[in-house]
Each structure stands twice: as C-alpha cells, then as structure tokens.
Structure 1
Amino acid sequence: MAKPLAGKVALVTGGSRGAGRGIAVQLGAAGATVYVTGRTSGTQRSEMDRPETIEQTAVLVDEAGGRGIAIRVDHLVPEEVRTLVERIENEQGALHILVNDIWGIGGPKMEWNKSVWESTLDIGLHTLRLGVDTHAITSHFAIPLLIKTPGGLVVEMTDGTDEYNAKNYRVSFFYDLAKAAVNRMAFALAHELKPHQATAVSLTPGWLRSEAMLDAYKVTEANWRDATKQSPHFAISESPAFVGRAVAALAADPDVARWNGQSLSSGQLAKVYGFTDLDGSQPDCWRYVVEVQDLGKPADVTGYR
C-alpha cells in the first residue's frame, strides 16, 4: 500500500489517548515517524489518572506501519520541550508535522456549569495553562525546526469550530476561553508561517469516542451504539481514527496551504478528502449539532453520517 507520509517526521503532543492517539496512529499508517509525547507513561500518570500511556500509542503506530517514539514530556516545562525538539533534530534532522493536541481539561476536578466567580480559580487557571500555555510553549521551540523544511504543517487541536464557538457558550468560562484561544492561535500562526512556506490550521473532531467517553457510558468501541439509549445524539459520535485520518489527509495534501489559517472539522475534511470513520461513515457532527441537537430535534443522523 502507498505510504504518502513515508520519510516525514511528526510530533503529536498529548498522544497518550483520545484524539492524540488516533492522530498518531493514522500518521503512522501513512508511513510517518511519530514522536508521541504526554505525561502518562508506563511509570508515571498525569492528574487525569488514566491507564493509557504514550508507550502504548507508540506501539500502535508501529503496528499501523509507521515508527512510534514515545517520550514523556510535560509541555508546561519549557526546558523539557526544548530538550524534546533538540532530540528530534539530532535523531531526524527535520520536523514536518506538529500536532498540538493537549486539550486543557483541568484534571479530574474540572468544573462545569459554573460562572467565573463561582469557579475554583486554581482549577480554572490550570485549565488555561494546560490548554493554552502548552500549545504556545511547544510552538515556540518546535516551529524553528519545522520551518527549516518548506511545506511544514501545524495543527492546533481544539473543541468546536471558530464559527460555532463564537456563537455558543462552552459550559465553562475557562474551557470556553481555552478553546477559542486555540482557534485564534492557528489564525496567528498562519500569518507567521506563510512567509516560510508552512501552514497552520485549527482542527476539531466531533463528539469523540475517546477512552474516557466510552468508559463514562460503560461501552466499548465495539458496542458504542448502546450508549445512544442514554444519549440519543451520541449516534453522531466518531472514533479517534476519524480525526486522525483528517490530519493524515492534510499532511499528505501537496496543496495544504489552501487551508492556511482556517478552522476545520473532521466531518468537513472527510467530504473533501474522501476518508471515512472505522464503520465506513462520514459523521458531520458540527453541522448535526447546529441543525438537529441544538434545535431540540429528535436524534436522527440521516444525512449527517
């Protein structure tokens, strides 16, 4: 099979689980060497206290046909990020794809449906640090290596398109702010990268069937549809592989610069590039949310996946 990203080097931050794992694996399936970073390794967990590790993701990258390299990094610590990028340069000589996928959930104590004055300030500020500072710190150190080779791609992972987030409150002052900031980061980076023949975009999955989400509904990827008995709109959900295929498609597109500075979704890109989710469908979550879910209509994914 063709490997359109053979010879390419990617860095996927926050790659231990969820979208990060899905992206790393799909980049590997396209032939890339993928550095997988995060705070949960085989010997240490982050405050999320989840069992998935960066080493497990690296193995999945290998099994998909790429090369996975797991490195434990706290992206809030500049010196750790500097050391990571130096290692990539020493080992590979280049970086072609940077995926900033640290999501900014403030740990198990994350607060929802509270105003800024009702929120615990330390938790809220930690959310901003995880969701905003980590992206800025990583870009600061990684982009100088990325722009040494023309055609580089930076993907800022977020939750919600710029259009949707501009009109809708995202259930927490701090979470709302973090996700809007990431979309704006991609816009700003696009202007800074364009003279260097590189591209920056923001990208959102839809309702993601992450490991934590599946656990919350007490289902697995194999029987995820059982969760629609609790939440009928979960029928529009997508696997992490779907957004992973979106990133792989962008990275393999010789005309990726056409997207520079734009806010994109996995469902939108599926229509352009023709990839599907694991079940062969193309869930268009954000159109569904606006046209069905937010209008209070009964769950019906006809025409949306």
Structure 2
Amino acid sequence: MSGPLEGKVALVAGATRGAGRGIAVELGAAGATVYVTGRTTRARRSEYDRPETIEDTADLVTEAGGHGIAVPTDHLDPAQVRTLVDRIADEQGRLDVLVNDVWGGEHLFEWDTPVWEHDLDNGLRLLRLAVETHAITSHHALPLLLRHPGGLVVEMTDGTADYNRDTYRNSFFYDLAKASVLRMAFSLGHELGPRGATAVALTPGWLRSEIMLDTFGVTEDNWRDALDRVPHFAISETPRYVGRAVAALAADPDVSRWNGRSLSSGGLAPVYGFTDLDGSRPDAWRYLVEVQDAGKPADTTGYR
C-alpha cells in the first residue's frame, strides 16, 4: 500500500540523530523521498564525535518504506546548501517539505551562566549553528518548495512560544537561539502563506535522543532506570513521536490552519490521532508547567 506522502519530497536539514532522524524516518514510513543532511558521515565525524551518521538515517528511511538519500552538507556554507537544493531540483523537480532541524549546540552553551561569564566564542557559534543555518537553508530551498502549492516548512526548536516567553531557557545564548527559531516560523508564515505554503514552529517534549540517553547512562530499552535519578524524565518521548507529528502535518490537506503558529508533538497527538512508539501520548509542555515547574512530585497520570 502506498503511504499518504507517496510522491512527496522532503528535506530534513540536520537529520544525523535525535529529532531530525525521527522525523526523517516517519516521513519515510509515510512514503516520502527524504533527503537527509548533516556533517557526520561514515567517513568523517563532526566535532560531536558521535557514531550516528546521515547514511544510517537514510537507510532507516528506506527500511521504513520511503527513499532515503544522504547528502553531506554544512548548512553554514551557502555554497553547499545551494548545491544541495540544485541536486534536489535536478533529481526530483520539487520539494514539498522542508524541516529546519540544524542545531549543533549541546557542547556550546553553559547552564545558568550569565552572558558576561559565558564563553563568547562558543555562544556566538551556537547562534550561527542554530539560527544562521536555518536562514541560509530557507533562502536557498524555498524557491523550489514554492514551485508547487501546499508546501510545508517546519522550524524545529525547543519550547513553545507560550512557554519560552515566560521562562528563561538555560542561558542567554540558548534562550536567544530557541526564541529566534520560533520567530522564524512566524515570519515565514507571513511570507509563505500568501504564496500557497505553510510554515510552523514545532517542538518535541523531553526528547530521548541518543545524546540524552547517553547522558543518563541508559538505552531506549531501559530508559526508565533513569527515573531514580531524574523522576520527571518519566514524561520523555522518543524522536519518532515528533516525527509522527511532522508526517501528520505534511499529510494534512488543511495544514494551512496552523500557518505561523507554535506547535508541539504532545499538542498535535490528540488532534491527528498518533501516539509514541509505546502507544502513549506524552504532553510534556503541559506537564512541565503544571507538575515539574510547579514543584510537584513526578506523576505523569493524565499527561501521557
């Protein structure tokens, strides 16, 4: 059987691991051709020095039922991004979904460190990786996306517009980066909406990415062992959950109703009827406000 995105072409910028990989795989499961980009390949690692590669992601896309194509790309280099988009245009003649998920800042921000004490070079590089990459990619990719009506741009961030407006997020540089991406979706909504396309900001909840699992010393199979150390981790979700959110948006003929808005995986799950891999529907951002930030004991009852 063909999936709802059969014949559609997606670019997931920053698909080496984490949310980007989960999104790419779920787009593939829906039948899409998915170009996956990043800097870590089987031949060369980025400064993250981690084992996940874009080739692995492309293989997972194909195994899920789509067509995964890995293209090594540094999204800070406009020439590389232009070459990438030219290749998609030559090979497919269209682009239906653009996911801007480039981040790369885990090792660059310092928790609860004021801007005058934070390493300036690291902070400025974080902003370049988290913000400039998105702008470069949109600049080059959007003309191709606009060739056909109904295109979708997903700006991936951390936190909803409501939550981030009222909450300090870790450091000056981290806070600025995540707020900037939310605003990008708002601005793109104004520019794309009249031209027949849709832009949204999307956040996962507490993501059980490869890096997060390693930080807690657990795997996806035994992730609950981390609850003894961090009880609120019980609200966490797999990268595939936000991937299903993107796939649902991309298949929605009425997706323009979300144009310019800030969305979350947990908020979209009941709207579109998808679940995480374990059949649950974690609503992390509501949980954070009503339980964790309120100082209540960890209890996900009613939140997943």
TM-score, normalized by the shorter chain, greater than 0.5 = yes
> What is aligned with 2:177?
178
Aligned equivalents of 2:276, 2:269: Cα separation in 1: 9
> What is aligned with 1:6?
6
> What is aligned with 1:96?
96
Query: In the TM superposition, what is the alpha-carbon distance from 1:109 to its structure 2 partner?
Result: 4.4
CA contact (8 A) 2:186 2:199 kept: yes
Aligned equivalents of 1:103, 1:298: Cα separation in 2: 32
Aligned equivalents of 2:103, 2:297: Cα separation in 1: 30
> What is aligned with 1:29?
29
* 1:256 equivalenced with 2:255 (yes/no): yes
Aligned equivalents of 1:171, 1:279: Cα separation in 2: 30
CA contact (8 A) 1:104 1:178 kept: no
Aligned equivalents of 1:143, 1:192: Cα separation in 2: 11
CA contact (8 A) 1:156 1:200 kept: yes
Aligned equivalents of 1:115, 1:31: Cα separation in 2: 46
What per-residue deviation string (whole Å, max 9, x for no partner) do you get for residues 80-123 of structure 1?
A: 00000000000000000000001241x53432221000011000
What per-residue deviation string (whole Å, max 9, x for no partner) do you get for residues 215-257 of structure 1?
A: 1111111111111111000000000000000000000000000
| Secondary structure at the counterpart of residue 108 of structure 1 | coil
TM-score, normalised with respect to structure 2: 0.99
Q: What's the C-alpha RMSD, in Å, of the aligned pairs?
A: 0.8
Aligned equivalents of 1:102, 1:207: Cα separation in 2: 18
> What is aligned with 1:129?
128
> What is aligned with 2:299?
300
* 1:142 equivalenced with 2:141 (yes/no): yes
Percent pairwise identity: 72
Aligned equivalents of 1:221, 1:2: Cα separation in 2: 30
CA contact (8 A) 1:237 1:285 kept: yes
Aligned equivalents of 1:149, 1:137: Cα separation in 2: 21
CA contact (8 A) 1:104 1:132 kept: no
The letter for the 2-side match of 1:192 is E
CA contact (8 A) 1:104 1:175 kept: no
Aligned equivalents of 2:76, 2:225: Cα separation in 1: 38
Query: In the TM superposition, what is the alpha-carbon distance from 1:303 to its structure 2 partner?
Result: 0.2
Aligned equivalents of 1:301, 1:102: Cα separation in 2: 30
CA contact (8 A) 1:104 1:128 kept: no
CA contact (8 A) 2:34 2:69 kept: yes
> What is aligned with 2:46?
46
What per-residue deviation string (whole Å, max 9, x for no partner) do you get for residues 185-234 of structure 1?
A: 00000000012110000000000000000111111111111111110000
Aligned equivalents of 2:72, 2:239: Cα separation in 1: 21
Q: Which moved more, 1:198-207 or 1:95-104?
A: 95-104
Aligned equivalents of 1:194, 1:240: Cα separation in 2: 28
| Secondary structure at the counterpart of residue 107 of structure 2 | helix
The letter for the 2-side match of 1:8 is K
* 1:211 equivalenced with 2:213 (yes/no): no
> What is aligned with 1:81?
81
CA contact (8 A) 1:40 1:52 kept: yes
CA contact (8 A) 1:26 1:248 kept: yes
TM-score, normalised with respect to structure 1: 0.99
Q: Name structure 1 gaps, 5 residues minimum.
A: none
Aligned equivalents of 2:28, 2:120: Cα separation in 1: 39
Give the ranges of 4+ consecutive aligned residues of structure 1 lying more than 4 Å apart after TM superposition. Answer: none
Give the count of matched residue pairs. Answer: 304
